[in-house]
Homo-oligomer: A and B are copies of this chain.
Amino acid sequence: MYSEQNVDIIPEKWYNIVPDLPEPLPPPRDHDPENSSIDLLNRILPKEVLRQEFTSSRYEQIPQEVIEQYMQIGRPTPLIRAKNLEKFLKFNGKIFFKYEGATVTGSHKINTALPQAYYAANEGVQEVVTETGAGQWGTATALAATLNGIKSTVFMVKVSYEQKPLRKKIMNLYGAQVYASPSNMTDFGKKILAKDPDHPGTLGIAISEAVQYSLDHDMRYLLGSVENCVITHQTVIGQETVKQLETIGEKADTLIGCVGGGSNFSGFTFPFIKTDAEMIATAASEVPKFSRGKYAYDMIDTAGILPELKMFSLGADFVPKSIYAGGLRYHGAAPALSLLIRKGRIKTDEVGESQSLEAFKIFSKTQGIVPAPESSHAIATAINYCRNPANQGKTVVINVSGHGLLDLSFVRD
């Protein structure tokens, strides 16, 4: 979005961490060997996306068209010194935040939606389909499709569809067709509605509907998180941060972000993997995937349509408490991130809803930016970190993955 003098902050390549991991990344595997879900990917993903998912080369050239699109949607996003928060915390180090909420869709999700939609359009696909829980991913997909001249369909978890009418509106504005899931648009949805017409929906069901719908209509399916290529795309966040810190002569001691599926955190931190920066991944206490999850192969979606991945997981049938930070309710975490946590390179934290709400309020009042409830978890970790006398003097960088302007009902009256 920023003035043209900043364009050189946007990287020319995405960074794929796979060759730099301390051991080989465990590959995806079929849930049911009789019925290959890996083959299924061939039918539902754009070819180039599939190739990137399985590559082990360190860099992928970002197409010039995608760089242009990155500029139009607000890249590079700003790196801001949170001086008011420092003052509030009486912290004598420095707090910076990378503000992904400055993209036009209000979160980091657009970083991967754009290339995926671009590749789909480039391969002659007319329409893409995906699911969305809280709405951020659906919003990003809708805009990415429009900017690449193709159509989009979004299956939105019914309870969110009803609670967040503004989200549906913005997706419609961007030209997407939005269905509440479970819906009558797929056999899977119809079956569920037959049993329970008032079923509130889950992300697992919405994924199954989106995949089914893309197969039925020969569309392509866009991936919102967890998968490796998504994380590769999200490294624009961390690579920009590296350059921005260099430009102002600063060095990060600590990087903090929140984890749902892991895409914003991984995209933010992986470009720093060869530095000695401390990295802390914050999950929601209500979704304690790090403290109580198992590191093992598990299903990505509830129905087991997509291939299994080795990751920290609470089990694909884990039903989280209804917390406001919908983006953190996912049961697993991206394989590369899980591996690095397992190996001790990345530390973890878990923050509860009331503490994240407190961080949300402090950040709003000191910096004026209303952060996404998800990002508020990372801010909570950072606040605790900076209040610890042992961390005085450090340079802390938080990834604020999105704004919370459409989530103001997080605060009760």
Contacts and interface: CB of A to CB of B under 8 A. Distances in A.
Interface of A: 1-6, 9, 68, 72-73, 76, 78-81, 83-84, 99, 102, 104-106, 110, 143, 146-147, 166, 169-170, 172-175, 244, 247-248, 361, 364-365, 367-370, 405-406, 408-409, 411, 413
Given A72-B83, A172-B411, 11 more contacts: A2-B2, A3-B80, A72-B80, A104-B368, A143-B368, A146-B368, A166-B405, A166-B408, A170-B408, A173-B364, A173-B365
A370 B170 contact: yes
A400 B404 CA distance: 21
Given A1-B99, A146-B365, A411-B169, A405 B106 contact: yes
A406 B166 CA distance: 9
Nearest 10 A/B pairs, CB to CB = A104-B368, A173-B364, A4-B248, A2-B78, A166-B408, A169-B408, A143-B368, A104-B369, A405-B405, A1-B78
23 contacts: A1-B102, A3-B6, A3-B78, A4-B81, A5-B248, A6-B6, A68-B83, A72-B80, A72-B84, A72-B368, A73-B368, A84-B147, A104-B369, A105-B368, A110-B368, A166-B408, A170-B364, A170-B405, A173-B361, A173-B408, A174-B365, A174-B368, A405-B406
A303 B220 CA distance: 61
B104 A175 contact: no
